[in-house]
Structure 1
Amino acid sequence: MLLSGWSCRGGLRVGLGLSRSWKHGGARKGIRSVVTKVSGATSVPNAVTDRIVGKWMIVCSGTVVGAVVLGGVTRLTESGLSMVDWHLIKEMKPPSSRAEWEAEFQKYQQFPEFKILNHDMTLNEFKFIWHMEYSHRMWGRAVGLAYILPAIYFWRKGWLSRSLKLRVVGLCGFVCFQGLLGWYMVKSGLEEKKDSHDIPRVSQYRLAAHLGSALVLYCASLWTGLSLLLPPSQMSNTGRMLLLRRFARGTGGLVFITALSGAFVAGLDAGLVYNSFPKMGERWVPDDLFAFSPALRNFFENPTTVQFDHRVLGIASVTAVTVLYALSRRMPMPRRTKMAISSLLAVVYMQAALGISTLLLHVPTPLAATHQSGSLVLLSLSLWLIHELRRLPK
């Protein structure tokens, strides 16, 4: 009875639908379309799921910001070498008894930072730097979970398009790579140097690679989120707009390089070499700018040259954003795009003021951390503006 009832009512409609679809495009396509109509299912991904995935990407990019800022504070407080082991699960539980803390402290005492710099450190002082590094590592694990767990859920729900699946897989893989790169960086500060009097520090090359990959991860996540959340702006493709679009991309690249150069400044403590502005000491160009041989080494290993480069890049970024703003003044564009340009101009001058203040005050930790955070805000606004000015596909 049930079967005959279905055949008399719903079955007739399905059968008619299948016969029409067979005539116009084949049985497989007809079955898919009819089943969709009968079940009332909504195709995924769609506008609603895109917004959910876009918000997830924005949250993920925010967690990366937290990791970068916390990593900067860890570096400024010289806490990064306090944890001398790396275990993905085992180290998630911190020491809970005095005996466990003393055992952890004894492991730290076997490495160069304690022997050369912190040989008079107390257990309580060690606990502070250990907790700083522990917080950074645990935050890194939280970043990984923020990417991987929702990615699995959205994938199973069918909310990711084919292109978005490839991008999400790449982002999740990059998060894992970041963790390995972070430990590779820390290891460089735990190794015994040929000259026992060298100040123990992580390799500035590895530090720059770690920061650079974090910035790439952040930019890719933020761009994906903006693409899913913000409707495209209707921009005219005039010659002036083409110039503005190219200039905005170049400015964004300059801001990225300036932020990355800060890793070399931090890695070499180059902010403590010349604490004057605009001159470096008594000169515009210091005498020891090319003290190392070959000359190329100075750009990555000479603290004076590294600080000089960061200054020049910072001034160039301010100049580029100012020119970008001037170019946009008389061009018709949406309110949101104008807001992005105005915000970028305000933040670049604020960031320059923070950088100069940090230098003149001999790099106090709160101010230096704020300056590093400002570089991420500046990079975010640059990316937002580039996204607003992008050429739409025809």
Structure 2
Amino acid sequence: MDVSQVLRMNGGDRDYSYSNNSFLQRKVISMTKPIIDDALANLYLDMNHPKNLIMADLGCSSGPNTLLVASELIKSIDKIRLKLGSDELPEIQFYLNDLPHNDFNTIFHYVSKFQKNLRNQMLSNSSPTCYVSGVPGSFYNRLFPRKSIHFVYSSYSLMWLSQVPEMVNTNKGNIYMSTTSPPSVIKAYHEQFQNDFFTFLKCRAEEVVSGGCMVLTILGRQSDDPCSKECCYVWDLLATSLNDMVSEGLIEEEKLDSFNIPQYTPSPKVSNEVEKEGSFVIDRLEVSEVNWDASTDHNLNLSGEHEQGYNMGKCMRAVAEPLVLSHFGESVIEEVFKRYTNNIKVSMSKEKTTLVNVTVSMTRKG
């Protein structure tokens, strides 16, 4: 699997698009806003009322959340500026980064509307000068000129690996780390994350100015156990669906055994990786939880087929469908996600189901 070619969220604005099924991710953005506000306030003070700010959202994906992030960051800067008595809002360059196959077209289609809405939402009467640009490419490589970025943001992106880990043993019957995975598989996943995260930090250390900030929210875990249910359960349910289809002859067993999700969910000990790389100092590290039912837009009156679990199924389809499609083919897609959604429904009806977020705020050393 060439991750750079197949890892993307479902584009467009159809029923299973990420654009229409990312309420859970939006909830996470809202939950971590106080950490972002603190980081921006410190940055603004350190820069002594800057005339311009260069900001980047890495792993921006597509849909309303992408420009929501930009909007919230700019409104936060305006609030800080007013509090400190600055005369004018700095000009802001906002870079949106994701892999080349991301649906950038949908983002750019809404930029003019975003800028118009932003003018109406500012606390002051200022008309913000904001330039939006797309930057296709892997954030495990350099993306920007040296010492050019003031603030880096990323949410629910850095758990994705640059490649499926190279394994000496088959992860038989599994598609991710599991309690039944060989120890060598768990080791391979951990080492791939360590290498990738170190590379990410090294690249950003080149690009972020001295005193610049990063706020990273990563899908993670509280437990030291990388196979704990809190981080692996959502993929175990997909594995169950695929295994059932193997047993019924709908999918080849060899096909399943060669499929692994390129993701690693770290614990708060991710701070060790930051200290090891050495270019950033950690200002805050917080762990939070979000319920699976946050995938539902609670402003809607849902009933019937939109029962508990249905929307989490759609959310996971928006995330996982390109990976599953590239490996198993189009003929089984509907059946895979029908079963997967049903497994999610059953689980949510029986127990509390949550995802864990690890948020790290850090500053570039001088």
* TM-score normalised by L of structure 1: 0.24
- Bigger Rg, which one: 1
TM-score (norm 2): 0.25
The structure where helix makes up a greater share of residues is 1
